[in-house]
């Protein structure tokens, strides 16, 4: 397949700029093959069964966007991509002219030394203090580029899942934003189990694929951890006839990376898994996800999961029915294609 197969027209006004008033107030498009059902997110418990297992990504978004100045006085924007240690990070740096190795960036009253470059990223070292303290004092929530506004105080809570605990992401696992504690309690009361993995979402998740030939695309790398407990829970779910429901594409990447050998095993490290049509899924039966950017690897992933024609038909329907798109938008529940 070619990149152009994953394009679709989207009116700009359907790109959600703010979260809904309540987390669970979103709409839910249920996609089961060619059958489409317009639901509310609060209908999710009745679409699942006792014995199913929901797998959440418990990563926590860090205040990764920092504004400061170069030694020349020019403005600079730093978007932390990966924390390497208490004082060192890999970051995207936006400035009128790229900073040189050995130069310094000033954020508030703190200085970051530019160590050098790693491809498109800069390695930066904080001279004094701690990176987390710097972000607490001066950081902004790293809202996606299609949200055309500055981050606000409410984003600190709403661009974060209620179960976030392991800090390290620079983008939220957005399928999880719909869950509030009341929904989690309701699922538990129905004997629907939950499990957690960790995948620190990187800014690369928003990067469009630029090569028409998908074989030429180099997938961005993200760090993940799938523990033994998750593997045991998935095995127990299979044994009792339940279904594994991935909450978000990041949970899919985590589970499928850990199951690459054909058997789900504990895994910790990097993944560059590129899931596209033709991929054979090992671990996931249903997928709860938001709507994704045209020509993106995430749109390719959901097309691989539910079927290309089925997904593109679902997206056309969502546009016609005025669903809200992307991070603060509505959700889809996808049945796995055959």
Q: Which of 51-55, 190-194, 215-219 has the lowest mean pLDDT?
A: 215-219
Mean pLDDT of 136-149: 96
* pLDDT in the model for residue 282: 96
Interatomic CA distance for residues 49 and 222, integer angstroms? 32
Local confidence band at 111 (pLDDT 50, 70, 90 cut-offs): very high
- pLDDT tens, position by position, 85-102: 999 999 999 999 999 999
Just give the CATH number of 3-61+154-335.
3.40.1780.10
Mean pLDDT of 213-232: 95
Residue 62 and residue 51 in contact, taking contact as beta carbons nearer than 8 Å: no
* pLDDT in the model for residue 207: 76
Local confidence band at 194 (pLDDT 50, 70, 90 cut-offs): very high
* pLDDT in the model for residue 95: 94
Phi and psi of 15, rounded to 5°? -80, 110
Handedness of CA 287, 289, 294, 298 (dihedral sign): negative
Which residue bears the tokens 């799938």? 226
* pLDDT in the model for residue 208: 77
Handedness of CA 89, 90, 92, 94 (dihedral sign): positive
* Domain segments of the chain as ranges: 3-61+154-335, 65-138
Domains 3-61+154-335 and 65-138 share a fold: no
Which candidate, 118, 114, 97, places its Cα nearest to that of 106?
A: 114
SS3 labels along 187-240: HHHCCCEEEEEEEECCHHHHCCCCCCEHHHCCCCCEEEEECHHHHHHHHHHHHC
Please check the confidence at residue 338 and state whether its pLDDT lies above 80: no
Residue 252 and residue 301 in contact, taking contact as beta carbons nearer than 8 Å: yes
- pLDDT tens, position by position, 277-327: 999 999 999 999 999 999 999 999 999 999 999 999 999 999 999 999 999
Interatomic CA distance for residues 306 and 151, integer angstroms? 34
* pLDDT in the model for residue 204: 79
Direct distance between the N- and C-terminal alpha carbons of the chain, in angstroms, rounded to an integer: 18
Residue 157 is given by DSSP the state: H
Please check the confidence at residue 237 and state whether its pLDDT lies above 80: yes
Residue 220 and residue 207 in contact, taking contact as beta carbons nearer than 8 Å: yes
Interatomic CA distance for residues 26 and 40, integer angstroms? 6
Residue 52 and residue 192 in contact, taking contact as beta carbons nearer than 8 Å: yes
- The percentage of residues in the chain with a pLDDT greater than 70, rounded to a whole number, is 100
Cβ count near 243 (within 10 Å): 18
Mean pLDDT of 29-36: 97
* pLDDT in the model for residue 49: 97
Interatomic CA distance for residues 48 and 285, integer angstroms? 12
Give the strand order in the sheet containing 286-290.
Answer: 35-40, 27-32, 331-335, 286-290, 244-247, 53-57, 193-200, 222-226, 267-271
Which candidate, 80, 59, 60, 61, places its Cα nearest to that of 251?
A: 59
Mean pLDDT of 64-77: 96
* pLDDT in the model for residue 317: 98
Domain over 65-138 is classified CATH 2.40.10.240:
yes
Local confidence band at 200 (pLDDT 50, 70, 90 cut-offs): very high
Mean pLDDT of 207-234: 93
* pLDDT in the model for residue 119: 86
Interatomic CA distance for residues 270 and 223, integer angstroms? 4
Mean pLDDT across the chain? 96
Mean pLDDT of 214-233: 95
98 beta partners: none
Question: Residue 115 corresponds to which tokens in the numbers above?
Answer: 């160590």
Which candidate, 331, 330, 327, 58, places its Cα nearest to that of 206?
A: 327
Mean pLDDT of 109-125: 94
Interatomic CA distance for residues 297 and 146, integer angstroms? 16
Torsion of Cα atoms, 281 then 168 then 148 then 325, to 10°: 20
Please check the confidence at residue 203 and state whether its pLDDT lies above 90: no
Contacts of residue 3, Cβ cutoff 8 Å, sequence gap at least 6: 209, 211, 212, 213, 214, 295
* pLDDT in the model for residue 206: 80
- The percentage of residues in the chain with a pLDDT greater than 90, rounded to a whole number, is 95
């Amino acid at each position: 397949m070619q990149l152009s197969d994953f394009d679709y027209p989207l009116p700009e006004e359907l790109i959600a700029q703010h979260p809904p008033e309540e987390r669970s107030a979103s709409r839910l498009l249920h996609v089961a093959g060619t059958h489409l059902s317009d639901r509310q997110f609060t209908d999710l418990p009745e679409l699942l069964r006792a014995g199913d297992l929901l797998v959440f990504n418990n990563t926590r978004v860090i205040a990764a966007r920092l504004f400061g100045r170069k030694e020349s006085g020019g403005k600079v924007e730093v978007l932390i991509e990966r924390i390497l240690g208490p004082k060192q990070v890999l970051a995207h740096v936006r400035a009128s002219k790229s900073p040189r190795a050995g130069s310094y960036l000033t954020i508030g009253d703190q200085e970051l030394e530019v160590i050098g470059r790693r491809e498109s990223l800069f390695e930066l070292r904080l001279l004094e203090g701690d990176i987390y303290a710097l972000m607490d004092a001066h950081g902004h929530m790293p809202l996606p580029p299609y949200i055309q506004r500055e981050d606000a105080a409410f984003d600190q809570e709403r661009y974060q899942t209620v179960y976030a605990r392991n800090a390290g992401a620079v983008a939220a696992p957005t399928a999880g934003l719909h869950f509030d504690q009341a929904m989690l309690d309701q699922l538990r009361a129905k004997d629907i189990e939950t499990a957690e993995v960790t995948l620190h979402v990187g800014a690369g998740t928003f990067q469009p694929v630029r090569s028409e030939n998908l074989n030429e695309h180099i997938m961005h790398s993200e760090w993940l951890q799938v523990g033994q407990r998750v593997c045991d829970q998935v095995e127990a779910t299979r044994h009792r006839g339940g279904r594994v429901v991935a909450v978000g594409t990041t949970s899919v990447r985590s589970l499928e990376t850990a199951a690459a050998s054909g058997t789900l095993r504990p895994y910790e490290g990097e993944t560059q898994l590129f899931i596209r049509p033709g991929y054979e899924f090992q671990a996931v039966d249903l997928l709860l996800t938001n709507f994704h950017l045209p020509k993106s690897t995430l749109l390719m992933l959901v097309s691989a999961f539910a079927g290309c024609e089925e997904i593109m038909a679902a997206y056309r329907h969502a546009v016609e029915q005025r669903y809200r798109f992307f991070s603060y938008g509505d959700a889809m529940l996808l049945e796995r294609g055959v």
